């Protein structure tokens, strides 16, 4: 088994853990109805994407 030559610093370990931290998804405002949605995804309420109707949503 290979062993590390030097002890890894606390700072290096903390930076690695920080890079793997979960982040809240960024939300965008839909210009049609003003609801908060994930960017580059179809609005599940209206079925619109980039000004086009792409899903049939029954009201």
- Which tens digits make up the pLDDT trace of 10-51? 999 999 999 888 888 889 888 888 888 888 889 888 898 888
Is 15 contained in some domain? no
Q: Hey, how many other C-beta atoms are within 10 angstroms of the C-beta on 42?
A: 17
Could you tell me the end-to-end alpha-carbon distance of the chain, in angstroms, rounded to an integer?
Answer: 63
- Residue 31: domain span: 27-53
Asked if residue 16 belongs to a domain, the reply is no
Residues 6+ apart with CB under 8 A from 17: none
In total, how many domains does the chain have? 1
Residue 36 lies in a domain: yes
* pTM reported for the whole predicted model: 0.52
Alpha-carbon distance 46 to 32, whole Å? 9
């Amino acid at each position: 088994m290979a062993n590390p030559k030097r002890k890894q610093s606390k700072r290096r370990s903390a930076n690695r853990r920080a890079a793997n931290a979960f982040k809240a998804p960024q939300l965008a405002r839909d210009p049609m109805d003003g609801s908060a949605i994930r960017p580059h995804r179809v609005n599940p309420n209206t079925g619109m994407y980039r000004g086009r109707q792409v899903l049939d949503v029954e009201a």
